[in-house]
Chain A
Amino acid sequence: MTVARFQVAAVSAALALCTAMSSPALAQKKYDSGASDTEIKIGNIMPYSGPASAYAAIGKAEEAYFNKVNAEGGINGRKIKFISYDDGYSPPKTVEQARKLVESDGVLLIFGSLGTSTNGAIRKYMNDKKVPQLFVASGASKWNDPKQYPWTMGWQPSYASEARIYAKFVMKEKPDAKIGVLYQNDDFGKDYLKGLKDGLGAKASMIVLEDGYDTSEPAIDEHVVKLKASGADVFLSITTPKFAAQAIKKAAEINWHPVHIISNVSASVGGVLEPAGLEVSQGILSASYAKDGSDPQWNADDGMKKFYNFLAQYDPKANKLDAGVVFGYAAAQTMVKVLQMCGDELTRENVMKQAASLKDFEPDTLLPGIKINTAADNFAPIEQLQMMRFKGRKWELFGDIISSDLGH
């Protein structure tokens, strides 16, 4: 087998030499494993089965988007071959699939794999192998660590970024606020809490109580009562959907009406606010970075028109109400942008270099004004969000796009 491969390599090297000599213009083309004149291989790992299979919609939307790009002629004439495997949300399986993609399928890069611990399991491997692990689909802030892990980059705003935005909002709108924080006692909640404190900076003393709960607790009523008793007038609920709904309900029951902010994770109308009660949910605040596929206000929006056309033509089975579809579309669009920027130099090093040089890129399905920016020392593509308020049956965006930068 080794011998056979050697021959193939020799032949292709000879061929490459011939073409290089015959046409000097082509000499600039540079390829790593997974890229050629006709094809770019992109790997992906998604939980198509298992507890997190609801997120599989992201992978399917991405695949459909690449099909669209291919149907329109590909990237600089090269077709994308999207190889997506199932890991069932189990880290050991993620390692197996990542190694299969890199060592057996020979992909140029792995794009948009989902999950925090699953991506954590392959981060070291990808960096040892120097294969780009781009646009990780997880909100942990650890993907922005270009010094230690120069081959790994996140995409969506991290939990910490979101929390910093809430900190900015509170400091501006209610400078004398007393903040009560309810947080889920895991990496998600702690990332948030840290972001909040960073955002408040010297004013961290505004937090009068931080109260953690465990996902194993059946109900969080006691915590809400405790927070009311602390005298807080801003209630930051860093909770996952089930607990967010409980907290909204309980606060109404005990007649507590603080400025109530819930995390973007739980900002689902159907999944959280309706079960909690639309009446008691009025005025709740949150933040967002993507357009809502179910919101009629975007029907006339150019970006969303493109999105709806794409769905009709390439992914008719997808549910446009599913935030994962909007997410997958925008992430795939970012990936395509990076590959276009690479030109004919499709090496892993250049892919990382281009991914770290995105300037004011605006995918179709992100809120107007949200721009993707990266740099050699900034591997956090989306760092802006916009505040929104729940009114009637839907979220209403208000105020400016807020950046999570600590400086301004």
Chain B
Amino acid sequence: MSAAEEVVEGHQAVEAVPKRAMTLGTGTSLVVLAALLIAPVFVKNFIIFQMTMLLIYGLAVLALNILTGGSGQFSLGQSAFYAVGAYTTAVLMEHFNVNYALTLPIAGIVCFGFGFLFGQPALRLSGVYLALATFALATAMPQLLKLNFLEHWTGGVQGLVVTKPDAPFGLPMSQDMWLYYFTLVVVIAIYIFSVNLLRSRSGRAFMAIRDNEIAASAMGVDVALYKTLAFGVSAAITGIAGSLGAIAVQFVAPDSYTITLAISLFLGMVVGGVGWLPGSIVGAAFIIFVPNIAEGISKGLSGAVFGVLLFLVIYLVPHGARQVAILGQQLAGKLRKN
């Protein structure tokens, strides 16, 4: 047996991504799920709304995590996909009276196509160059949405108001609570899909490309296909997050989807831990709540306070929430032994 074969064999023998490296243990997952299920019963509608936004941004961060953590491609253009998803839903709901739930898969498909197409030219770029190309997409998107010939549909600068759905079947719950549970179901479904995707053949191909593109192609991975596929899947999930966001916020406007959003999502991914899917929610919590905390500390210097907090996180736990989780696990293990 040659050395090369040994390496290949070795890869196949070990699970490409150990389950624990990507997800939480079953016990922990169930506790988190239970908490997410029960919490809304005890809190005000405003908090439920914030939790919904947490799930939605978490979903968008997860999508970026698949792209960057999974296939190793950078994107600063997620806000563009988010915007396309949001506008797809808003236009379908307000101009065509399509049911809100149906708009999600449509937004997903539209964004998949959009992401897949964008992935084609992106193939030639890597690293910082790809980040720049996607950056251009993010800066262009708000202006594209204002274009004259689209204005009839998009409402131009004024944006579109989206009607919030009531709970179906006469369920005795507020709109906010219904939307929260609806979002939760969608997010869990996509989370499970993502975990399985990354553990599947395609996921292993993503990660092979991430670790070493040449080696991956030598092993027979169709690099071009899988790179664009990763873009497509990531865009589709971001688009669905955008749809949910449009329904929760009840409003879409070009100003909502600027480059700031893309950078926030990127930040959320880094804080949550690149490649660690549960970290997406932690990252989303960071980008939603930390600015509020910073504002509470100093209104005039909220940006600076936010920067200091971010710096502390990066400095103390460079691998984000994943590192904290691993530390916690080790600590729990030690305690158990004692």
- Measuring CB to CB, which residues of chain A are less than 8 angstroms from any residue of chain B? 1, 48-50, 84-86, 88-92, 95-96, 99-100, 102-104, 116-118, 120-125, 142, 185-187, 216
Instruction: Give the docked Cα–Cα distance between A186 and B255 (Å).
Output: 13
Q: Top 10 closest A-B pairs, CB basis?
A: A103-B46, A121-B251, A117-B253, A187-B157, A91-B256, A117-B255, A92-B249, A99-B46, A95-B249, A49-B303
Q: Does B99 contact A (CB under 8 A)?
A: no
Task: Say yes or no: A48-B300 contact (C-beta < 8 A), given A96-B53, A104-B44, A118-B255.
Answer: yes
- Report the minimal beta-carbon distance from B133 to chain A, rounded to whole angstroms: 19
Are the CB atoms of B256 and A92 closer together than 8 Å?
Answer: yes
Please measure, in the bound complex, the distance between the C-alpha atom of A48 and the C-alpha atom of B294, giving whole angstroms. Answer: 12
Check if B302 sits within 8 Å of A49, measured CB to CB.
yes
Contact B253 A121, beta carbon cutoff 8 Å:
yes
- Output the least CB separation between B290 and chain A (Å): 13
Mask for B18-50, Cβ within 8 A of A = 1, else 0? 000000000000000000000000111111011
Q: Which residues of B contact A103 (CB under 8 A)?
A: 44-46
One digit per residue, 1 when the CB lies within 8 angstroms of any chain A CB and 0 when it does not, for chain B 110-129 equals: 00000000000000000000
B199 on the interface (CB 8 Å rule)? no
Least CB distance from A121 to B in Å reads: 4
B200 proximal to A (CB < 8 A): no
Does B194 interact with chain A (Cβ within 8 Å)? no
Contact status B44-A91, CB under 8 Å: no
- Mask of B282-303 contacts with A, CB within 8 angstroms, 1/0: 0000000001000100011011
Chain A residue contacts of B258, Cβ below 8 A: 90
Partner of A124, one of B146, B250, B303: B250
Contacts of B249 in A (CB 8 A): 91-92, 95, 121
Chain B's nearest CB lies how many Å from the CB of A386? 29
A215 to chain B, nearest CB (A): 8
Q: What residue in chain A is nearest B42 (Cβ atoms)?
A: A1
Tell me if A92 and B295 are in contact (CB < 8 A).
no
Name the residue in A86, A88, A92, A116 with the highest tally of chain B Cβ atoms < 10 Å from its Cβ.
Answer: A92
Cα distance A41–B53 when bound, in Å?
26
A325 CB → nearest B CB, Å: 15
B217 adjacent to chain A (CB < 8 Å)? no
B143 at interface (Cβ–Cβ under 8 A)?
A: yes
- The answer to whether A96 and B49 have CB atoms under 8 Å apart is yes
Q: Establish whether residues B250 and A95, one from each chain, have CB atoms under 8 Å apart when the complex forms.
A: yes
What distance in Å separates the Cβ of A355 from its nearest Cβ neighbour in chain B? Answer: 23
A122 to chain B, nearest CB (A): 8
Closest chain B residue to A186 by CB distance?
A: B157
Rounded to whole Å, the gap between the CB of B239 and the closest CB of chain A is 16
Q: How far is the CA of A85 from the CA of B302 in the complex (A)?
A: 11
Q: Which residues of the other chain, B, contact A124 by a CB distance below 8 angstroms?
A: 161, 250-251
- Rounded to whole angstroms, the CA-CA distance of A86 and B301 in the bound complex is 11
- CA–CA, A187 and B53, complex, Å: 29
- CA–CA, A125 to B300, complex, Å? 28
Contact: B159 with A91, CB < 8 Å?
A: yes
Interface hits, B121-174 → A, CB 8 Å: 143, 146, 148, 156-159, 161
CA distance A125 to B250 in the complex (A): 8
Given the known interface contacts A96-B50, A104-B44, A104-B46, the answer about A117 and B143 at a Cβ–Cβ threshold of 8 Å is no
B329 neighbours in A (Cβ, 8 Å): none
Q: Kindly identify which residue among A50, A85, A120, A216 contacts B159, using a CB–CB cutoff of 8 Å.
A: A120
- List the A residue with the shortest CB-CB distance to B41: A2
The chain B residues found within 8 Å of chain A, CB to CB, are: 42-47, 49-50, 53, 143, 146, 148, 156-159, 161, 245, 249-251, 253-256, 258, 260-261, 291, 295, 299-300, 302-303
Chain B residues, CB < 8 A from A88 = 260, 291
Q: Residue on A with the closest CB to B157?
A: A187
Minimal Cβ-Cβ distance residue in B for A5: B44
**In the complex, which residues of chain A have a beta carbon less than 8 angstroms from the beta carbon of B254?**
117
Give B44's nearest chain A residue, CB to CB: A103
Q: Are B245 and A84 in contact (CB under 8 A)?
A: no
Q: List 19 A-B contacts (CB under 8 A).
A: A1-B42, A1-B43, A48-B300, A49-B303, A85-B295, A89-B255, A91-B251, A92-B53, A92-B245, A95-B249, A103-B46, A104-B46, A104-B47, A117-B255, A118-B255, A120-B251, A121-B249, A121-B256, A124-B250
Q: Which residues of B contact A102 (CB under 8 A)?
A: 46
Cβ of A92: which chain B residues have Cβ within 8 Å of it?
Answer: 53, 245, 249, 251, 256
Distance from B78 Cβ to chain A, minimum over Cβ atoms (Å): 15
What's the Cα separation between A125 and B303 when bound, in Å?
28
B310 → A minimal CB distance (Å)? 14
Cross-chain contact A84 with B53 (CB below 8 angstroms): no
- In angstroms, Cα B254 to Cα A216, docked, is 15
Q: CA A373 – CA B49 in complex, angstroms? A: 38
In the complex, the chain A residue whose C-beta lies closest to that of B261 is A90
CB <8 Å contact, B260 and A91: no
Please measure, in the bound complex, the distance between the C-alpha atom of A123 and the C-alpha atom of B161, giving whole angstroms: 9
Residue in chain A with minimal CB distance to B258 = A90
Bound together, the chains give a CA A120 to CA B160 distance in angstroms of 9
Residues of B within 8 A of A48 (CB): 295, 299-300, 302
Whether the pair B159, A117 counts as a contact (CB closer than 8 A) is yes
B46 x A117 contact (CB < 8 A): no
Q: Is the CB of A121 within 8 A of B143?
A: no
Bound together, the chains give a CA A120 to CA B251 distance in angstroms of 8
Return chain B residues, CB-CB under 8 Å to A187: 156-158
State in angstroms the CA–CA spacing of A49 and B53 once bound together: 21
Shortest Cβ gap from A92 to chain B (Å): 5
A48 vs B303: C-alpha distance when bound (angstroms): 9
CB neighbours of B42 from chain A (8 A): 1
CA distance A121 to B45 in the complex (A): 18
| CA–CA, A90 and B263, complex, Å | 14
Q: How far is the CA of A216 from the CA of B141 in the complex (A)?
A: 13
Give A294 Cβ to nearest chain B Cβ, in Å: 24
Given contacts A48-B300, A124-B250, A125-B250, contact A91 B158 (CB under 8 A): no
- A120 pairs with B300, CB closer than 8 A: no
- The CA of A50 and the CA of B295, in the complex, are separated in Å by 13
State whether A121 touches B159 (Cβ < 8 A): yes
Are B156 and A186 interface neighbours, CB within 8 A?
yes
CB pair A50–B260 under 8 Å, yes or no, is yes
Query: Nearest-CB distance from B232 to chain A (Å)?
Result: 25
Closest residue of A by beta carbon distance from B175 = A128
